[in-house]
Amino acid sequence: MSRQKRGIDLSIKPKKAIVCGVDFGAADDTEVSLDELVMLLENLNIPTVARVTQKRNTPDPSTFIGSGKAEEIKDFALKSEATLLVIDDFLNPTQKSNLQKLTAMTVWDRSFVIMKIFESRAHTSEAKLQVELAQYRYEIPSLKGLGHQMSRTGGGIGTRGPGETEFERHRRKIERRIKSITLRLDEVKKRRRDRRDRRKKNRVFTVALVGYTNSGKSTLLRSLSKDFGILVANQLFSTLDTVVRKISFREGGSFLLSDTVGFIRKLPPELVAAFRATLEEVSSANLLLLVIDSSDKDPIGHMEIVLKTLIELEAEDLPRIVVLNKIDKARSETDFIAMELRAMDEEIVRVCALTGEGFEELLATIEKHTFKNSQDKPAISNVE
Ligand SMILES: Nc1nc2c(ncn2[C@@H]2O[C@H](COP(=O)(O)OP(=O)(O)O)[C@@H](O)[C@H]2O)c(=O)[nH]1
Ligand SMILES: [Mg+2]
């Protein structure tokens, strides 16, 4: 292991992957989730050579998927020269290491894939710190497991193993680093909180974009603010930082619109926790714009996942407008989606973030909310 970085061995460059999803009979669609995992891997330039699904009532405690299935995968991997197995769920360290032994492949879980993408997209020091924190938190349980395993076998790995104490030292080093990152992020949190307090004092109306990754949040901010420097990309999680712009209403008055990291199925809890500082921008907003890609296969499914994440952020009760985006790609489907959303009691506006179609209605709807919010309060002014 020549180039070790935070416990991730970079000397092993997986080339081809086999993905595997387990259908536990829950409402979540295994195939849709697997499609997404394949796309996540594409974002890391890793091609998928096979998809495997399995039906089970509960995960196998020691291997997650059944051991028979693991054997099958091993055989296929030999034929197809796949070296990486990605399980579309959360694996505990024992399951991961058992699966590695059974299949003789490198084994990742969905969380690890998402974290790798976040790592490649983090550019600012705040985003980098948050990703680093999430990775350490993810790594800690497996280190504990390793230490435990080694103390039981009484030896190290290989001929001259590092021994338990070295793992202990490594673990303590990580814990110290976690503490120092947490302190630095606490400062960021405080700065953000102070800024939000100032806005509140100045009665600035704040609106936050939320939604599934790739739904068009950044495009919407870019078009509304006419700031074409804002990054828009057809890739997952291109935005990991909060970008805030002031948007003016035609007849006067304005609001602040913020864009931040998008959501996805099974977003690793370590990432949600580490990105608290960024995501507080969402829970402190006066209004949410919940952006939906109406050309997606399963827009309502996405909506439900976004709502679940909002509950985690304690932002589910904030006033919101559902913005049905990309109507240029899904004219006929939007009527049906709109009907379903109205049945869910949602307020809807349809837009095309690329061309600006529907923006007048969107701005009018946001303005209506600012009036509601400012009843008995002085007019909104002094946007910072
Ligand atoms: N056809 C079409 N594409 C869009 C629209 N809005 C965004 N996109 C595309 O969707 C992709 C993701 O957009 P982005 O704003 O980065 O999504 P985000 O992850 O939610 O911030 C980009 O390729 C955009 O050009 C739209 O209204 N119509
Ligand atoms: Mg974005």
Ligand 1 proximity of 199 Cβ (cutoff 6 Å): no
217 domain-assigned = yes
Query: Does 224 lie in the same domain as 97?
Result: no
Mutate which of 219, 237, 359 for ligand 1 pocket (most atoms within 8 A of beta carbon): 219
Which protein residue's CA is at the shortest distance from atom 23 of ligand 1? Answer: 234
Ligand 1 atom closest to the CA of 232, numbered from 1 = 16
In this structure, are 114 and 126 located in the same domain? no
Nearest ligand 1 atom to the CA of 325 is 27
- The predicted pLDDT at position 162 comes to 53
Query: Is the residue at 188 inside a domain?
Result: no
Integer Cα distance of 227 and 249 in angstroms = 16
Residue of 222, 227, 232 to test ligand 1 pocket, by largest number of atoms within 8 Å of CB: 232
Say yes or no: 370 and 241 in one domain: yes
Of 119, 139, 157, which marks where a domain is finished?
A: 119
CA distance 245 to 255: 8
Residue with the smallest CA separation from ligand 1 atom 13 is: 216
Distance from the alpha carbon of residue 225 to the mean position of ligand 1, in angstroms: 15
Distance of CA 214 to the CA centre of its chain: 11
Query: Nearest CA to 240 among 328, 129, 103?
Result: 129
Task: Mark whether 269 and 354 lie in a shared domain.
Answer: yes
Atom of ligand 1 nearest to the CA of 355: 27
Name the region of 166 (left: φ>0; alpha: ψ -120 to 50; beta: rest).
alpha
80 in a domain, yes or no?
Answer: yes
State whether 44 and 105 are in the same domain. Answer: yes
Each of the 384 residues of the chain gets a pLDDT tens digit; together they read 334 445 555 555 558 999 999 999 876 789 989 999 999 999 999 999 999 999 999 999 999 999 999 999 999 999 999 999 999 999 999 999 999 999 999 999 999 999 999 999 898 888 999 999 999 999 888 776 655 555 444 444 444 455 567 778 888 889 999 999 999 999 988 988 898 899 888 889 999 999 999 999 999 999 999 998 888 888 888 888 888 999 999 888 999 999 988 999 988 988 988 888 788 889 999 999 999 999 998 899 999 999 999 998 899 999 999 999 999 999 888 889 999 999 999 999 999 999 999 999 999 999 999 988 776 454 454 444
- Ligand 1: which of 210, 213, 214 to mutate, judged by most atoms within 8 Å of the beta carbon? 214
Please provide the DSSP assignment of 337-349 as one string.
HHHHHHHTT--EE
CA–CA separation, 172 and 136 (whole Å): 11
Do residues 161 and 111 both lie within one domain? no
Same domain, 264 and 147: no
- 189 domain residue, yes or no: no
- The torsion angles phi and psi of 6, rounded to 5 degrees, stand at 50, 40
324 shares a domain with 238? yes
Residue 78: predicted pLDDT: 93
Ligand 1 center from residue 232 Cα (angstroms): 7
127 with 114, same domain? no
- Single residue among 119, 149, 172 that ends a domain in this structure: 119
The widest CA-to-CA distance across the chain, in whole angstroms, is: 76
Q: What is the CATH number of the domain that holds 35?
A: 3.40.50.11060
Q: Could you tell me the pTM of the whole model?
A: 0.84
Domain span holding position 130: 122-183
Please tell me if the CB atom of residue 334 comes closer than 6 angstroms to any atom of ligand 1: no
Q: Give the pLDDT confidence score for residue 163 in this predicted structure.
A: 57
Q: Examine residue 197 and state whether it is found in any structural domain, yes or no.
A: no
Q: Are residues 24 and 99 in the same domain?
A: yes
Residue 192 lies in a domain: no
Does residue 126 belong to any structural domain of this protein? yes
Q: Which ligand is nearest to the CA of 240?
A: 2
Q: Are residues 137 and 36 in the same domain?
A: no
Are 224 and 359 in contact by the 8 Å Cβ rule? The answer is yes
Using H for helix, E for strand and C for coil, what is the string for 106-175?
Answer: EEEEHHHHHHHHHHHHCCCHHHHHHHHHHHHHHHHHHHHHHHHHHHHHCCCCCCCCCHHHHHHHHHHHHH
Q: What is the DSSP-derived secondary structure letter of residue 55?
A: E
How much is the pLDDT for 52? 95
Residue 222 is predicted with a pLDDT of 95
Whether residues 208 and 138 share a domain: the answer is: no
Count of domains observed in the chain: 3
Cα angle vertex 258, ends 252, 263, to 5°? 145
Q: Which ligand is nearest to the CA of 224?
A: 1
CATH of the domain at 370: 3.40.50.300
